[in-house]
Amino acid sequence: MSKSALPAGLCILLLTACSEPLPQDKRHYAGTWQNDDSSTIFEISPSGQLHYIKLEMRSKKSITGKIQSFHHNIIQIGFWPFSSEFKVSAAPHLSSSGIWSMTVDGEYLINRQP
- Backbone φ and ψ of 59, nearest 5°: -145, 160
Amino acid 12: pLDDT = 45
Summary count for the chain: helices (H), strands (E): 1, 8
Would you say 88 and 103 are in contact if contact means Cβ atoms under 8 Å apart? yes
Amino acid 18: pLDDT = 52
Question: pLDDT digits over 33-67, tens only?
Answer: 999 999 999 999 999 999 999 999 889 999 999 99
Domain count within the chain: 1
Dihedral of the alpha carbons of 29, 31, 32, 35, in degrees to the nearest 10? -40
pLDDT band for position 5 (cuts 50, 70, 90)? very low
- The continuous run of DSSP H or E covering 96 comes out as none
Q: CATH code at 29?
A: 2.40.128
Which domain covers residue 74, as residue numbers?
Answer: 5-111
Would you say 35 and 104 are in contact if contact means Cβ atoms under 8 Å apart? no
The answer to pTM > 0.95 is no
